[in-house]
Structure 1
Amino acid sequence: MKNFKKIMLLLLISSSFHSFAQGGRFKEKREQIKTLKVAFITDKLGLTSAEAEKFWPLYNAFDEKQNDFRQQKMRSYMDRMNDGNIDNLSDKEASGFLSQIENAEDEMYQSRKKFTTSLKAILPAIKILKLKKAEEDFNRTLLKQYRNKGRKE
């Protein structure tokens, strides 16, 4: 039964990645990815119902905050670096820009640290480690699917 669940999860992920690769609207794709991520993490963590009840609201709030942060601050920094004007910055301007980026990265790190501290109140350390691994594995799988999509076209 456990192997059946894993096979079904992999089939769901594969078929969803396939539909992701077929095109469509960005928001729908993002929602599909989020749904796949929830299923993936749920499978990997093996949360009890009591843990899940506390974990998912906390995780969703953290994930949303991280996504908003990436969309707003980090994207604006990357756009600024890619606009072709980076070569025209003075040392002082470049140093200031670098400080802004470092502060943004530190803010993201502090947010992750606060999230981990909050998780310690509801999950055992082993499940927090499993979460970190599940997030990395999911992202790696998603990236691999994206790369494979590019080779087929």
Structure 2
Amino acid sequence: MNIKKIILILLLLTSFSFYAQDSGMKDKKEQIKALKVAFLTTELDLTTREAQKFWPIYNTFDDKQFDIRYQKMRDFKSRMNDSALDSMSEKEASTLLTQIESADEELFLLRKKFTKDLKAVLPAVKIIKLRKSEEDFNRKLLHQYRNSKK
């Protein structure tokens, strides 16, 4: 077998591997999203009218939040391993810190806009319940993850 065929086969196998990982990630995200929707629906006790207005706003917010956290934070974490930090110059560290702060601010502004948008749809008590319910859901998810590792 010549080298071109070997390289072609390796490229195909690698691309299938990346596709499978990406597909697996999307499946897990969808499963978690379905569980979260069910949990929040139960916890918030939304009226039909509230639900019709709430879910499009929430889904848009949740998708944007995920994109910021997944895309940007993943990049930051990959650049913050021990060996990279030990060899990082002060200028590189300062630039990375500025980028992290910018992503944090972007998340904060997104959350602030989300809360503002919700005020037109839900009473303040339900917005606070939403925050608490999201924290409860994340805590339960983490607890289940830890138990599955044991």
Name the % identity: 60
Question: Residue type matched to 1:53 in 2?
Answer: Q
Counterpart of 2:30? 31
Counterpart of 1:52? 51
Alignment partners' CA distance in 2, 1:72 and 1:148: 27
SS of the residue 1:47 aligns to: coil
Alignment partners' CA distance in 2, 1:122 and 1:64: 19
| Distance change >3 Å, CA 98–CA 127, structure 1 → 2 | same
Instruction: Give the TM-score of the pair, scaled to structure 1.
Output: 0.80
Deviation of 1:83 (Å)? 6.8
Counterpart of 2:146? 147
Gaps of 5+ in 1: 1-23
Equivalent pairs counted in the alignment come to: 128
Deviation of 1:95 (Å)? 1.3
Alignment partners' CA distance in 2, 1:55 and 1:77: 32
Counterpart of 1:124? 123
Alignment partners' CA distance in 1, 2:48 and 2:90: 55
SS of the residue 2:79 aligns to: helix
Counterpart of 1:80? 79
Could you say which structure has the larger radius of gyration?
2
SS of the residue 1:81 aligns to: coil
Deviation of 1:118 (Å)? 0.5
Deviation of 1:29 (Å)? 2.2
Q: Give the ranges of 4+ consecutive aligned residues of structure 1 lying more than 3 Å apart after TM superposition.
A: none
Counterpart of 1:8? none
Q: Provide Cα deviations, 1:80-130, integer angstroms capped at 9, x if missing partner.
A: 112721111121221121111011101101100110011001100000000
Counterpart of 1:61? 60
Counterpart of 1:70? 69
Q: Provide Cα deviations, 1:18-51, integer angstroms capped at 9, x if missing partner.
A: xxxxxx9332222111111000000000101000
Counterpart of 2:10? none
Question: Residue type matched to 2:83 in 1?
Answer: G
Alignment partners' CA distance in 1, 2:76 and 2:121: 35
